[in-house]
């Protein structure tokens, strides 16, 4: 039997979306996507779920974290989700806690539950909250993993959080928000941590050559400027467009200094600690967190 090709392992819906996005103008594509999202509410949700050996719980067919459902693709999806679980455990250890001390967990930017499924599986006692701008993804995490659903506004400045959590995970979120708004968001999230709680988040701390194609054409065109900025200790923001999301690269020393300035000194740092790609940071919550204006005024 011939080996399966990548396209044979790619969910049919995602293949159709990619082909359509490349063949019609952006406004028309957005209109079609909007219509499709309305229509799918009338279809049984089980039609959008698949199960794979080695993965706890269902996987949504529109989970873009699993673009390739081949054995290698599934193994990578599993490894990255498990690695996040491990890094969160290390952050808890850094502040003298363990998973048994955690009663509440917020996955901020949960997507379709690549990480959340492991928290549910390994720590079933924890009350989970799934938050994302993608309402369909949040609803899926509620249905599949019993998480409280928290739909977020697209504008980070409009986010208001109702609740407090022992652990907040922010995986690959600051990688798409400009530096100033990202710091504001960290302060907002840190302020809703329970005493002794930890906020664990990831950033792009360097431009890894073999990863550049994954970021899209915008980052590829700006690659030289990104490297210059990071080498000079400056962060760099690449705006998104109709087909590519925005991407942010955080200079490590600059980010560390900014966190310390606003009262959030890191308790954990792992360079390329997630998927040998994104840096992993953890901070402890504080009631006295500085604002974006204070950071900007300090000239970071």
pLDDT at 192 over 80: yes
Neighbour-count burial of 212, counting CB atoms closer than 10 A to its CB (0-12 exposed, 13-18 middle, 19+ buried): middle
Q: What pLDDT was estimated at residue 286?
A: 64
* Mean of pLDDT values over 164-182: 96
| pLDDT tens readout for residues 263-284 | 999 999 999 999 999 999 999 9
Mean model confidence pLDDT for the chain: 86
* Mean of pLDDT values over 198-209: 97
Domains of the chain: 6-71 (no CATH), 76-205+250-297 (3.40.50.150)
* Mean of pLDDT values over 284-289: 63
Share of residues in the chain with pLDDT > 70 (%): 82
Q: What pLDDT was estimated at residue 279?
A: 98
Asked if 140 and 60 touch (Cβ cutoff 8 Å), the reply is yes
């Amino acid at each position: 039997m011939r080996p399966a090709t990548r396209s044979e392992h790619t969910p049919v819906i995602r293949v159709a979306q990619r082909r359509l996005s490349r063949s019609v103008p952006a406004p028309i594509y957005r209109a079609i996507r909007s219509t499709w999202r309305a229509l799918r509410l009338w279809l049984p949700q089980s039609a959008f779920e698949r199960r794979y050996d080695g993965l706890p719980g269902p996987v949504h067919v529109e989970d873009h974290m699993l673009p390739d459902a081949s054995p290698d693709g599934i193994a990578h999806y599993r490894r990255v989700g498990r690695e996040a679980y491990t890094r969160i455990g290390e952050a808890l250890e850094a502040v003298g806690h363990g998973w048994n001390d955690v009663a509440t967990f917020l996955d901020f930017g949960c997507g379709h539950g690549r990480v959340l499924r492991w928290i549910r599986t390994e720590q079933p006692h924890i009350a989970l909250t799934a938050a994302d701008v993608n309402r369909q993804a949040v609803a899926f995490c509620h249905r599949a993993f019993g998480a409280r659903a928290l739909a977020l506004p697209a504008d980070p400045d409009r986010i208001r959080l109702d609740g407090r959590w022992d652990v907040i995970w922010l995986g690959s979120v600051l990688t798409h928000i400009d530096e100033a708004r990202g710091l504001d968001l960290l302060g907002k999230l840190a302020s809703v941590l329970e005493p002794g709680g930890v906020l664990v988040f990831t950033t792009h701390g360097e431009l890894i050559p073999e990863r550049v194609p994954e970021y899209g054409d915008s980052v590829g065109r700006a690659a030289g400027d990104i490297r210059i900025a990071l080498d000079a200790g400056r962060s760099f923001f690449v705006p998104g467009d109709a087909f590519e999301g925005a991407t942010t690269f955080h200079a490590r020393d600059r980010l560390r200094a900014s966190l310390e300035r606003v009262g959030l000194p890191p308790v954990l740092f792992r360079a390329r600690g997630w998927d040998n790609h994104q840096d992993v940071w953890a901070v402890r919550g504080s009631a006295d967190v500085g604002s974006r204006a204070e950071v900007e005024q300090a000239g970071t």
